[in-house]
Every structure is written in C-alpha cells, then in structure tokens.
Amino acid sequence: MGERADGATAVRADLEAPASTGDGGDGRGSSPWRRGRVLAALSALTALVLVGHGLVPNTPGRLGSLLESFLPWSAVPVAVLLGLALLRRSALALVALLLPAAAWTYLFGGLLLPGPGTGPDDLVVVQHNASDENDDPVGTARSLAAAGPDLIALEELLPEALPRYEKALAGRYPYHAVRGTVGLWSKHPLTGVRATAIKPAGITEPWNRGLRAAVRVGGRDVAVYVAHLPSVRVGATGLTSARRDESAGLLGRAIAAEPLETVVLLGDLNGTVDDRGLDPLTSRLNVSARGFAFSYPAALPVARIDQVMARSATVGRMRTLPATGSDHLPVLTRVTPR
C-alpha cells in the first residue's frame, strides 16, 4: 500500500507540474524575457527622471528642486529594483536596470573617484555652520583648526559666542573678519573686507549673512565670499525656498561683478549643487566633482548643503570632518587656483 500511494503521488505531481519550455520559462508563457514587465517599466521611468530631472516643473511646491535635492539617493530605488528583478528571475527587468544604473553613474559616479593632485598654491578650506545653539564654541574651533586649513568659514555666529571663537582660533589664524553672523578666519592677510548684501526683500529685521574679503596667497589676491542663504522647509505643499532662491540670485550678481579673477565661495547655501535654485551660483562657479560629503543633518546626513565653489580655480575632493556641537558637519576641501 505504501508503494502504491507513493507512486500515485508521484504521478499526480508529474501531471500537475508545468512543462519546461526549454527557455527558462514555466510552460505558461512566462519566460525570463516576458515576466517582470512592470519592473522594467519602473526602471525606464527611473532612468527618465534621472536624465530629465531638469524638466520636472518647479510649480507647484518647487517639486523640481525637491527632487534634485535628493537626486543622489535615486541609487536606493535602483537597488530595490535590482533585488526585485533577481527575486522575480526576470532577464527583461535586469537588462532594463542598465538604463537607470548608467544614468546614475553618469551623474554621480565621478564623485566616487579619487581627488586631483595637490599644488603649491592650494588653499585648504573648511566650511561650517557652527549653529547658534552650539554650547561648545571652543571645542568646535579647536576641532576645525586641528584639520589644518588655510581658511575657516563659519555661519550662525552669535555675539555672545564670538569672543570664544576668536580666542580659540587666534593662535593659528591671526587674520579674521566678521560681518553679522558670518565670519572668516585665515592664515593669510585679509584686505578689502566688506559685507555682501544678500538679504531678500521680504526680510525687514536686521539681517547680515554675507561677507567678502581678499586673501593674499601665492602672489595673487583671491576673493573669498562667505554666505549663509535663508533656510528652506519641506512640508505638505512641497519645498519652501523662495527667499533662498532670491538670496542666491543676489549673491550670484555680486560674484559676477567681482573684479578679482579668482573667487572662492564658502557657505551654508541651504541647497545641493543639483538644486536649480542655486543656478545663479552653479552657473558661474565650479563645484567639486569628487566626494558626496553629506553635511546635514549631522545625526544622519542626507544632503550636502554646506558648499565650496570657485571661479578660475578647481575645487578638490569634498569630505566631512568629525561632528561638533552643531547640527551640521564641517566640510573640507582643497581649492587650486588656475
């Protein structure tokens, strides 16, 4: 009885099993090249968004800028689609994944490569929003100075904290300038220091978040701008960035009018270099082609909104420094005048 039962079970299983088609299918017309069409379509859509992100309208809610702020993270849905394609055993979906993978590599793959070589006239710079809630200005200043930069740019400097920053940095940085809530510390002499007017028209209270100074280095004067653009907010209606965009336009015009050939911009710009709201700056200045250096928020960085840009100079690999008492991470890079 046992043998007959086992035989009957085997016959029944054989009759119920789908016949092999010889091409990896299951006998129901579902071959690796036919299944996974939805995944393939999603891959094509992801590639289209990556390549054509500039065509995404910015109204309503500045959706284009919001998308561009997190564009590097498009690698996450690509990885998810890869996992689903493997689970589905779909050759069609796997081949389609080459489209978004190639698009992402074209846009961001270079950031993973080593930085360029160094030069004798390089400026090592640190940019840091020190935070107006930082309860350890001395520790923050010492941490930044320990990296050995030529220039340190700071934002959100409160009057009561400023003397502590000045005292902690005085030994290594004999030259410094502060205008409003932004400051620049330098190992090299500073001249031509002045405030830069970047206040949006809608702000009526006292507000000074920009300065310009000339730094003498390598036998030439380099114009250095320090700026803190207005904050943006992400809500149910999208991205609120009108004031940030207006301030970026004012800063862009100031830099365009700068008579010195070489310009370095250091600042908390409250936007990524892919965000079209910073076009007045990124269209005039070079940005780093190496390193992601996500700087905000410090607890779980998802975007780099602390930027170093330059004109007639190359911005090297960006990297972050250890956390301070701020909600931003400091970023460091090397600027090579041309």
| CA–CA distance, 319 with 306 (Å, rounded to integer) | 11
Q: Is the pLDDT of residue 238 over 60?
A: yes
Name the pLDDT band for 60 (thresholds 50, 70, 90): confident
Minimum mean pLDDT among 84-93, 186-195, 235-244, 325-334: which range? 235-244
| CA–CA distance, 145 with 76 (Å, rounded to integer) | 36
Residues 148-163: pLDDT tens digits? 999 999 999 999 999 9
Count of residues in the chain: 338
Name the pLDDT band for 37 (thresholds 50, 70, 90): very high
Residues 69-120: pLDDT tens digits? 999 999 999 999 999 999 999 999 999 999 999 999 999 999 999 877 777 7
Q: Which residue has the tokens 């000339």?
A: 214
| CA–CA distance, 323 with 13 (Å, rounded to integer) | 62
pTM over 0.95: no
pLDDT reported for residue 115 = 79
Residues with Cβ within 8 Å of residue 189, at least 6 apart in sequence: 175, 215, 216
pLDDT reported for residue 301 = 98
CA-nearest of 111, 108, 149 to 128 is: 149
Residue type, 335: V
Residues 211-232: pLDDT tens digits? 999 999 888 999 999 999 999 9
